[in-house]
Amino acid sequence: MKKHFLEVLMGCLLLICFYYLSREAAAVAGQMDYSRPVIVVDSGHGGDDPGMIGIGGLKEKGINLSIAMKLKEKLEEKNYKVVLTREKDAGLYEESSRNKKAQDMQKRISILQEVKPALCISIHQNSYENPEVKGPQVFYYKDSLEGEKLAAILQKRLNEDLDIQRPRKEKGNTSYYLLKRSPCVLNIVECGFLTNPEEAQLLTQEEYQDKVAGAVADGVQEYLDATLRESN
């Protein structure tokens, strides 16, 4: 009798535990959205390719990577899945390659073809012969309506969130390799000018990089939310 009572009691306890664990699991599952899109964040240049060389020998590749990593974190906080084209100071080429630049660019396109993301953000920095020129600017493939929509949203976010006094406008382009070859919506985000003393200094600061990444992440979410509403 005592043994039977203990068996019944243990069974009840197991049922109660299972009930509460199931409730908790259901609550967690309810908070997760498994339909969220995949986003590729491309950090321009890397390895033997420093990108633009700015004031004081400032190399574009390092700033690109730093902002890209911050952008990844902010997008993941919004429950997006993020794929980086690079996570360290290395180009996407083999050391034995005769044309490292070409192989690097082809590899970036191969990643997009394999991952099939909802969109790609390629992080870069700008330069100009006139050191007074500054401000972020977003480029899109000229014949891509969705690329233009995303670029307009990102440009507005960057101009407002970074408090740009002379805001630039998003710009269509047909010559940039990534824009021409990308199988998905892709924007090149030039975060600022490394040839402008003030902006170059800002772009090395963690706080400013964080603001840039935040503006882009919010813009991506705004675009994807709008796209989802239009499809329903």
pLDDT in tens, 86-138: 999 999 999 999 999 999 999 999 999 999 999 999 999 999 999 999 999 99
Flag whether pLDDT at 51 surpasses 60: yes
**Dihedral pair phi/psi, residue 136, rounded to 5°:** -70, 150
Global pTM reads 0.85
**Dihedral pair phi/psi, residue 18, rounded to 5°:** -60, -40
Average of pLDDT values for 44-71?
97
Both tokens of 155, joined, read 């440009």
Beta-carbon contacts of 127 under 8 Å, excluding residues fewer than 6 positions away, are 52, 54, 193, 194, 195
Question: What spatial distance separates the first Cα and last Cα of the chain, rounded to whole Å?
Answer: 62
Beta-carbon contacts of 79 under 8 Å, excluding residues fewer than 6 positions away, are 32, 33, 36
pLDDT-derived band at 17, boundaries 50, 70, 90: very low
pLDDT-derived band at 232, boundaries 50, 70, 90: confident
Q: How many C-beta atoms surround the C-beta of residue 128 within 10 A?
A: 13
Q: Give residue-wise pLDDT tens across range 58-93.
A: 999 999 999 999 999 999 999 999 999 999 999 999
Collapse the DSSP code of 92 into the 3-class scheme (helix H, G, I; strand E, B; otherwise coil) and give the result.
coil
Eight-class DSSP state of 96: T
Burial class of residue 180 in the structure, from the number of CB atoms within 10 Å of its CB (0-12 exposed, 13-18 middle, 19+ buried) = middle
CATH superfamily, domain at 36-231: Zn-dependent exopeptidases (3.40.630.40)
Instruction: Tell me, rounded to whole angstroms, the distance of Cα 37 from its chain centroid.
Output: 12
Strand ranges for the chain from DSSP E: 38-43, 81-84, 119-126, 137-141, 171-173, 185-193
Domain positions in the chain? 1-32, 36-231
Beta-carbon contacts of 140 under 8 Å, excluding residues fewer than 6 positions away, are 147, 148, 150, 151, 170, 171, 172, 173, 179, 186, 187, 188
